Structure formats: structure tokens, C-alpha cells
Copies of this chain bind each other. A is one copy, B any other.
Amino acid sequence: MTKNKIKSSSYLFPRPVVLIGANINGKPNFEPLAYVSSVEDKPPLISIASYETHFTNIGIKENGTFSVNTPSEDIIAGTDYCGIVSGKEVDKSKVFDIFYGELKTAPMISKAPLNLECKVIKTLAIKDITGAEIGHELFIGEVVNAYAEQEYLSEGAPDISKINTFTYAMKQYWKVGKPLAKAWEVGKKLMTD
């Protein structure tokens, strides 16, 4: 078998799907995003990369806040809809029932099983490091608060087997499959004394 050079791309399979919430001119707006990652534990930080022309970016920069909402299958159509239409043309403030937390300007989706309320602590325009004329903006947010209903928790923490969320790859959403093996355990068989 031969390794082929294929088109260079930042492939990751599969990606988590979240809805980023922000207020623009005082009105909530949401965009689905898969360019997201944890970047720190103490304090808990999350990075999101959103294209600079997106409506959401205006609100994040206006308020210095955003939310990260993990969708369930129940709101998959609403999630996808928010990726089809732009807040520049369509008012997305009524797509979901929302609530606010202590930051006041990060709208969160009531029906999403998990909501993170985030305060921006660093903004990086990717074009400033690549020299490109346009590009994504990387926002690093501190998770100031996290919210979930009791039914989605096990021992106080969100339980993926209760959340019924989905992932993204190849222009499709995918179910999360079954547990396969325990981490920091399945590899022990390769240990030698």
C-alpha cells in the first residue's frame, strides 16, 4: 500500500457541532460551527474560529462575549437552518427559545442540552499571521458558566449518552456511536515492565 499525497486540508474526523450565540444590536443570533476546541483547563478556555464576514463575529466583538450550545437531534433542523441563512438577511432571534446568564449578552438556547457562557480573553485575526487578505477570526473565550438540565447529567457532569448530540463530517451530520474502549486503559496491554 502506498501513501498518496492528497489535497492539503485541515482534516479532522469527525468534528463536534455547536451553535455559537451572540447578540448583534441587542438581538440574539446563532451560527453552527465545527472549528472549535478546548485550549485550557485552568481556567477553562474554548477557541472558536469564525470567518470574519460572518454576522456572529460582529456581535462577539461588540460585546466581548459568546455562547457555545451543544445541540441534540431534536434541534438538528434549527441548527442546520442557522448555517444556511445569514443573520445579515434573516432575523434568527426567534429560531430558538433563549435565556441569558450573568454576562447578559451571550444568548443561550434553552433546548440545547448544554450551554457554555463565554467571555472573550483573546482575539486573533488569522490573516495577521498568514498575510492573507481575509480569513477567520480566532476567539478564545473563558467558560464563565456552564448550564444543563438534570436529565442530561450523571454525577453532576454532562453525559454524552444522555445528550443525544451529533457530529459533522463530509457535509453530513453523524450520530455518535457506541463506547469502544476505556481511555488510559486499553493501551495498558502494550506496557512492559
Q: Which positions in A face B, CB cutoff 8 Å? A: 1-16, 18, 34-47, 49, 68, 70, 73, 76-85, 95, 99, 110, 114-116, 121-122, 124, 126, 129-130, 132, 135-136, 138, 140, 142-151, 153, 156-160, 163, 165-191
Q: How far is the CB of A184 from chain B (nearest CB, A)?
A: 6
B176 touches A13 (CB 8 A): yes
Question: Which residue of B35, B45, B153 is within 8 Å of A39 (Cβ)?
Answer: B35
A146 touches B44 (CB 8 A): no
Q: A84-B191, A173-B181 are in contact. List 11 more A-B contacts (CB 8 A).
A: A4-B147, A4-B149, A6-B158, A10-B46, A13-B163, A14-B176, A39-B138, A42-B135, A80-B183, A174-B177, A174-B178
Distance in angstroms between the alpha carbons of A44 and B12 in the assembled complex: 12
Q: List 25 A-B contacts (CB under 8 A).
A: A2-B150, A3-B148, A4-B150, A6-B158, A7-B157, A10-B38, A10-B41, A12-B16, A13-B160, A14-B16, A16-B16, A35-B39, A45-B126, A47-B47, A77-B190, A84-B188, A85-B191, A121-B130, A124-B124, A167-B176, A169-B176, A171-B182, A172-B180, A172-B181, A176-B177
Q: How far is the CB of A153 from chain B (nearest CB, A)?
A: 7
Question: Which residue of B110, B144, B182, B184 is within 8 Å of A8 (Cβ)?
Answer: B144
